[in-house]
Structure 1
């Protein structure tokens, strides 16, 4: 009280109050202690339509060249890539000459022509050359956010890289959080890759949640028998059992339940942890406490200690990797993922000694 009371008279805005409360809570030095919201002014946001593409301006003509088109899954609204939809004629390398009839070479920025166009039909004039002669017009529906497309493209690129580097023998999956999105990604990629000889589980950037026990249960399953049906091939029983080795990628942005997952992974001896020490915040919350102005305050109220009853675990430190690898920002920006490269190297080496194959069929029984 003595330390922070003098600041009260200087609080003139909700952000000031949030700052003071945040500093007070910070004295606890504990994770998940949040404060925010409340009676704060806000401005109307102007949405800008995005094309799901990286553009670069031609220095001579001032038209915009499509440098790269982001992949999507257009049957999924959250992964719709406008320039890849049926009926849209656009390719990487084409030039955008006009938007709704307005030449873009006369604009300060092409996005001024895409204001308030999210989900609305927009006509683009394109050409393979930066000139009007021979150009064509195509209609697109811009999107509000490209983040999901970049994430999808990153995951697909990693899948392709792992598959090509291991001749299709190793699977890869990324789990972005320990909630609905993470479960969806796990289910989408884990089960189709069960018959791979090994698996890389990537939880870098995992934002936490509460489903890490469920994922660990799936990874721990062991075959206890082999099943076979008429006109089929042998399969492990339970069928959802992964036979080969597994490694886990993690980093300093693997947080909360993203801390607990690698801890469980290590305790169950599922495989090596590769990357950087995790975030280190496992004192958890159940929900916010409401403040009178509509703000929220989160009160951390549960944590974990080790099975031996000797120490509180993870909080304030994180989970240490077995193999430390830090991605160089410059190399990562240019597409070189040293952490993933090391994971591929380790899993290939482990397959030489830990890969498991299904045993052959025994002789059929004689019934006569």
Structure 2
């Protein structure tokens, strides 16, 4: 009995070997990256890596693991005296607040939160029960929780003691990042919390400010009052409020002197944002470009903390994966004898009846997708990020010879290519809402259309390769069909509004 094609593909590709994940595989001399959510007590830096907490001296070195529980652990924060470490974790299923000794040891659960329907969706606005800070004069952990809200967007600030009694809500309808003054009489805080959203350079009503609340007078005032996003306030021992802001296009570290109200920019990163800073007795630590950095409050100097993690991660070992369970797309060759399949970022040529399967790419450092066979049966066209950006490639369908990069200088994400019937051109859309084609022999690129109302997802060639038809989004939400002559290069609407 002959197995169906898709089942033979599963059997043939059941033993695909995968290289170690780059996030975990490292040489002994390499520094580890993807380090997140740092905190410091002046001597130690605790951070999150691969969902667990690690500690290292402020000078760096080989880190030691502090947590081993199931689930993801994040947002560690040292107590004011540096002896206790509060954090957020999924030890018992729910996202809850825990505490352990600063040097490590058994963790104790401080909160118990009901799981509601809103918790069954992804944490678009960040996890629940995020540890924000500690009070300075009392052993109270401050955390942001949605326990009183059925809206995943809104959260309130609460305090909980080491006795794990009922939390107490701070007097704000909603809150985000926060930091107490040294005597706990005031609180610097954000009202909005959207650091887990992917918005960049946003200006508008959801752009946050740093506010200061006086618990004695009950008054709240804006400290920053800037159109940019000003978040993660940290009350320093030098009578300054530190925070990060995207005023110059990237999230950098700023400080406002509470006496003069003068604001000064302290870092000037141009490549990647600063994220999730926290303050200790003498420094601000933060993540940037996957590393942990330390800003010295006294000298104003910032330096990367060299950190290495040397552990045997199960996810870092090679293993076998059934690629047949991860098929992204499949396209038949023009003669129907073979198909080209995309699975886990690799291109596979699979026989329909007789022959052997071929892995055409074998690129552990690149992701291939959107593979399609040329009408003459000689070439496979596809998208690849081998250069770091999306580009179109073609390669011989028989696996012999090297791939040819067809496009260059990509400035956005590319959608699926479509061959012209004469196998000489490729047509594709992109996220800049353009529709273009390239003449492969000459590498000449022609803009067919660019629309301000939406992206092009439906497009094709005429049988003689002289015309292009596509669906163009319109202002009223109803698309039109257009034609484009490759000779005259003029779009023609063939349907009305």
Give the TM-score, by structure 2 length.
0.19
Higher helix share: 1
Higher strand share: 2
Task: Give the number of the structure whose alpha-carbon radius of gyration is greater.
Answer: 2
Give the TM-score, by structure 1 length.
0.23
RCO comparison, higher one (Cα < 8 Å, 6+): 1
